Amino acid sequence: MNSCLIYVGELFSAISQGLPLKDPTKIAYVDYSGSTLNQQGDVAACLRTPQMNFVELKMYFSGTTFFQGMCIKDVCSAKALISIKKEFAQLLSLVFQTTITPEQFDFVQYPVEKPSTDNYGFIIISLILAFLLLLTLVAFFMAKFERKSKDSNKIQEEQFDFNAQNHLINKNKIQTNLKNEEERLNEELEGNLESKSSQNEAVKNQKTENQSTLKRIINCWNLKSNLQKAFDVTVRNSDLAAFDCIRTLSFMQVMLGHSFLIALSYYSNFNDFDIVQKEPFTLFILGCFYCVDVFFMLGGFFLAYVTADPKISQNFQVKNFLKMLISYFLALLNRLSRILPTYFIAIYVIWQYLSQIGQSPTWSEIEFFSGVCDEDKWKKILFIDNLYDQPINCVGWTWYLSNDMQMFVFSLILMVIYANNKILGKVFIYLALGTFIGLAIHYAYEYEILIVSQLSPMFNPHWNDFYYKPWCRIPPYLLGLLFGIFYKEYQIERQQNDSSKKVSFLMKISHYMRETFVKWISYSIGLAIIFYLIFGPRPLQVNGVDYWNQNVQHFIFGISRILYSLAVILVLLPSVCGSKDLLVKTMSSSIFQFFSKLTFQGYLYHYAIETYSLWVFYDSMYLNIQNVLNLYIAQVPIIFLVSLIFYVLIELPLNNLANIIFNRNVKKKQIEIQENNKQNAYHKVIN
């Protein structure tokens, strides 16, 4: 008979009957095992005890996984316990006083064996990271060599100038019969001295222009230059500086919401969950669901802001159909070149490295978390994972990028229409906006999704069919598209300063925004909508989801995301119209300019870091708002530090490379600076 089965039978029989335990291994089981679900016990003491090993019991109830540490005799390894799952299920049924089937639990040996690094994924990402590091080192030494070369040339030039000046002085002492020759030499030497600086500058420019393509590519990884760019908080368009504040705050709320939701996977005080769920601050945490729509709105705004520019829109004219097609696909390629490489690296880093950098009794959850990318990574890289019916698992939080790319492709078609006919383009955008808002409302009714007042919508069986689908999430993007068009028309009108032309929509609004009262009305309405959408469902949180009429809830849920995005636009409107009040200055602070640069890398890695910080601990979390905030405060600086590293070493160099490929040079920045100077002068006049 199985020795492990005999041992387990004797152990449980003695415990259930309250018999005294004399066997040291059975005493160790009682002393060092977890006393209830989601408790590990004393792992270190267990492993120090002779003849004992530690096994993790995983149990599955109602779609939730629970854990309990077992300090048990070494004859009962995880493999041995799995072989007696049927008998063990009977024992568990007695303990929990309910029927437990073998499918409802499993065993994992601790320490967990690390996944093999002998696979193509680990090799690929290791080679890529090594190559990028090599480029960084080559760029560093190349820049150092160039500095030494310049310093050497500078010393030689200074020596030449010094000798020339001495020669001029000595020539004054030459005999009178050589006076004519002396004057000729003096004129020649003086001319050389005066033109020396301009000649050097010309040579320098010529060298820069003739710089080899390979050298320019390597310079993309110049660490010093990239660090300077990372910490450069120069604002090229003061009207849009407040956008960085909105982006940063939205990302920080996303991190808070995810930290709370991740904590629900491994907490100990199950009986307190209803209390935590009904805390007012929990509504603010769950407001992270709206923050993604802010990113969609900003994405649509900047797409329109760039493509509505006359210099860009002329490339999308139908009269030159071939050029239009090429411009369209180049715009897509440009977009992909700035997202896909860093996205690819993030997926592979999380897939291959995360499970290698820690250990705990629940470490198998990290292995599962990263291992799901074995099959699904290609759906992610192709930006189509959100179109499937099954849940998104591999780097699941980046469903946003798939939606954003699909919305970009569709919205760029609308911008092509706008480039050919401004009125028709706006009409199509309005029609698309109305259609997709109607679809969102329709699906909210069809799938019976209620307001996000509690976690109940996440447990709706149709949640994946609504939350991740682009046709339900695109309205904020289209609203941002309209906002970007209106702002670009307003900007062009200000620069032309032609009163004979038709006044743009935003120009009309800007006249009212000069009044302090109107500005604060815009702020107040925007903030009121935001706080109502977050805290308004408080009665539902306290009294239950049936407290309001369900049909009303479906409708509100269907329009809530477009309302939230509209509210953010109302908050940004005074800044866009040129206001420089205290709130705008605060939102335009340089600290937000810096942190907003890190939000893309932060979004790619934050969920993995938060998940790691949960499962690397041996003990489950006591769930309450204070502990969630404490954990969040500890996670934020780590996330931003990791984001800065990947931003400087990967994102910035690859963006520099994209600029070379798509021929984006310094002239564009100079034009933007000139436009900003014109805008500042305009604001001084109207204010």
> What is the average per-residue pLDDT within 492-512?
76
Among 119-128, 199-208, 212-221, 339-348, the minimum mean pLDDT is found in: 199-208
Cα–Cα distance between 106 and 70 in angstroms, integer?
12
Radius of gyration for the chain, computed over Cα atoms and rounded to the nearest angstrom:
33
What pLDDT sits at residue 209? 46
What pLDDT sits at residue 479? 96
Residues linked to residue 548 through DSSP beta bridges, in sequence order: none
What H or E segment, with its residue span, contains residue 289?
Answer: helix 288-307
What H or E segment, with its residue span, contains residue 606?
Answer: helix 599-615
Task: Supply the DSSP string of 180-240, one letter for each residue.
Answer: HHHHHHHHHHHHHHHHHHHHHHHHHHHHHHT--HHHHHHHTT-HHHHHHHHH----S-GGG
Mean pLDDT (the chain, rounded): 84
Residue 512 has, within 13 A of its CA and on its CB side, a CA count of: 11
653 pLDDT exceeds 50?
yes
Give Dmax (Cα) for the chain.
Answer: 129
Mapped onto helix, strand or coil, the DSSP state of residue 163 is helix
Q: Tens digits of per-residue pLDDT, 467-480?
A: 889 999 999 999 99
525 pLDDT exceeds 90?
yes
What pLDDT sits at residue 202? 46
Q: Tens digits of per-residue pLDDT, 320-338?
A: 889 899 999 999 999 999 8
Q: Is the pLDDT higher at 376 or at 639?
A: 639
Residue count (the chain): 687
What's the predicted TM-score (pTM) here? 0.85
Mapped onto helix, strand or coil, the DSSP state of residue 454 is coil
345 pLDDT exceeds 50?
yes
Contacts of 366 (CB under 8 A, 6+ apart): 354, 355, 358, 611, 612, 615, 616
Q: Is the pLDDT higher at 668 or at 3?
A: 3
Cα–Cα distance between 437 and 278 in angstroms, integer?
30
Cα–Cα distance between 96 and 159 in angstroms, integer?
91
What pLDDT sits at residue 150? 67
Cα–Cα distance between 687 and 683 in angstroms, integer?
6
